[in-house]
Amino acid sequence: MPGILRAADQEPRMSAPEPVPAADPAPQRRCQNCGELLLGEHCYACGQPTKGLVRHFSSIIGDFMDSVFELDSRILRTLGPLLFKPGYLSEEYFAGRRVRYVSPVRLFVFLSIFAFFAAQLSFDIAADQPDAAETKAEAGADQARTRGLRTATTAAEVERIRDEALAEIKKARAESANVPGVAIGLDVAEKSIAAEAARRLREIEESERSGRPLAIAEDDEGKISFNGTPWDAKSNPLEISWFSDGMNRKLNERIGRAEGNIERIQKDPNLLKDAFLSTVPTTLFVVLPLFALLLKIAYVFKRRLYMEHLIVALHSHSFLCASLLLVLLLDALATWTAGAAWISRPLGWIEVALIAWMPIYLLLMQKRVYRQGWIMTTLKYSVLGYCYIVLLSLGAAAALMINLVSI
């Protein structure tokens, strides 16, 4: 047995396989700020992103465009349904399918800024009126006649200016007999001249009777008046009783600035046009929550959250801005191709169809999102439309007043 054991011991033993060296593990990324292990593009501990500004400028531009405008495949997936599928984007958002589309707020901001910037460039007040110079000359002549009545010192001079003005109005009435709406303006001008002449005759008669010197009216064109007297910061300021002295002072400073801007606008009306259109996106952004509140009231029994109505308002306004942008582009293309009727005419038809599509789209959107019968949907659509026009008119008036002071 010992011999056997020794023989067995002398047999070569099977050696264990040598372990294969493992591949080097992937280097673990750690946050450069706090040192924690990174599991994504942001540190879960301190929130610092992995990308900083010290990198290629082209990648920074790409990130900026993506974060501000989301200019990638999402905008292509968004614009089609926005223009041709009423209510589709809102329903997708409510269903939780949001990442594949541009967010409602960014969509509205992007389209509203571009649409009204294009509106500023698309037309010019003086250029779009072929008879603008003639109209301005006629208006200047009417103002000159009115100032002539106010500065006339004798009854004969007043009567001469009055009769000449009324004769010109009579001639204009005969020449524009077939033009609708002109007669109304001529009637107003005729009554205004007659009233101004009668007032000046009374002043001359009173001066001759009392022996007091006749007052010569100053040129108040472009002046702001209160209680029939031109505004003046010292002699005739506007004072509101429940305002403090400081508030009244600020108010009159604003009035003085507005009066100066009126003279600038009279020389170049495009100043007010450009200033107004530049503030329309802001005005719409203020009106949006109010319109969403109207939707909440109109559909109170639907038990939808206010934010759902706000999403609907954002998508509907984004559609209107996108449609306006397309209308402006089509109008510009039709103008550029005016010499080729086979191109400009179809463009005009598409433009008209797009304008007609706007109210139909909004009605279909309201019907699809809120799922009521046609009678109730049409009724609420009409009431909401009327209320919205009132809101928009108030917002536009406020924007005009602000621009009158700020331009």
Task: State if pTM tops 0.75.
Answer: no
Q: Tell me the per-residue pLDDT of 84-93, one tens digit each, with 9 for 90 and over.
A: 999 999 999 9
Strands 225-226 and 229-230: antiparallel
Q: From its phi and psi, is residue 86 left (phi > 0), alpha (psi between -120 and 50) or beta? A: beta
* Least-confidence region, from 106-110, 272-276, 372-376: 272-276
Q: For the residues 27-32, what does the mean pLDDT come to?
A: 78
More confidently predicted of 133 and 287: 287
Contact yes or no for 251/238 (Cβ under 8 A): yes
226 forms bridges with which residues in the sheet? 229
More confidently predicted of 367 and 188: 367
**% of the chain with per-residue pLDDT over 90:** 24
* Least-confidence region, from 63-67, 132-136, 188-192: 132-136
Q: Tell me the per-residue pLDDT of 148-175, one tens digit each, with 9 for 90 and over.
A: 666 777 888 888 888 888 888 788 777 7
pLDDT in the model for residue 284: 87
SS3 string, 42-98, reads ECCCCCCECCCCCCCHHHHHHHHHHHHHCCCHHHHHHHHHHHHCCCHHHHHHHCCCC
pLDDT at 194 over 90: no
Number of Cβ within 10 Å of residue 395's Cβ equals: 19
pLDDT in the model for residue 302: 87
pLDDT in the model for residue 26: 56
Distance CA 400, CA 387 (A): 20
Residue 226's H or E segment, with its range, is strand 225-226
pLDDT at 225 over 50: yes
Q: Tell me the per-residue pLDDT of 261-300, one tens digit each, with 9 for 90 and over.
A: 666 766 777 776 777 777 778 888 889 999 999 999 999 9
